[in-house]
Structure 1
Amino acid sequence: MIRHQQTLILSPYAALYDIVVPKDNILRQINELVDFTFIYEELEAKYCLDNGRNAIDPIRMFKYLLLKAIFELSDADIVERSKYDMSFKYFL
């Protein structure tokens, strides 16, 4: 499966998101309400699991597109903002 290609390294500072990103933040609410795992099932036939390098997590790529649509930002602006905006980091 695509999701098994990913390695998840959690930061010891992950609890800071609970302090910095308010409970009523729209991105926090979307993250808590939507189960994005359907994306793995939709794209499973599109990825080769035993050839080539590992894929970038499709859920992250989908979330980038969602951020782009919600905030009407360019690709470059989304990438730049995700470097410093804690709500974007939390969402991604």
Structure 2
Amino acid sequence: YSEKNNISYTKENNIALISKLNPVIQGTRTKEDEFEFNKDAGMYVCKAGHLAFKLRRQGKKNVAKNRRETYYFDIEKCKVCPFKEGCYREGAKSRTYSITIKSTEHKEQEEFQNTEGFKEKAKSRYKIEAKNSELKHRHGDDTASAAGLLGMEVQGATAIFAVNLKRILKLINEKQ
């Protein structure tokens, strides 16, 4: 839900997107304690103190996917490193560490995600998701059974009608 195109669309149409960013996009780094960024060198350093020797940026600016930075470490140093257990895989040809560069859309969504308004609305989102899941899995709303927009509208309306009817019957039975 929180890919760049969806965020851009909701921003253009003045819609509040109540969808948490994927942890990969949020920048939740794996092995955060094992790699530190050295500002002077502009490279990451492993916990043994070995500096990455090469940086490669992957992806293009202003496209749907975020760019990635991959840092390359000297494999010969990794082979004799005292911390190689769990870091270096025997026989590996390279050792890299990658991070995702957040787009401005994702940065803005992350700021919105940290507001109280977002947190309040996100608390009730699970109810909507549960109802959507029920429509998809129990009432055939996962795939279209008829061609065309009208057919899909009829199928969606029928599924919603069935779910509402079930809810009404359940409430009537609870009252008795």
TM-score, normalized by the shorter chain, greater than 0.5: no
Greater RCO, CA 8 A, separation 6+: 1
Which is greater in Rg? 2
Structure-1-length-normalised TM-score: 0.28
- After TM superposition, the score normalised by the length of structure 2 is 0.18
If each structure's helix is expressed as a fraction of its own residues, which one has the higher value? 1
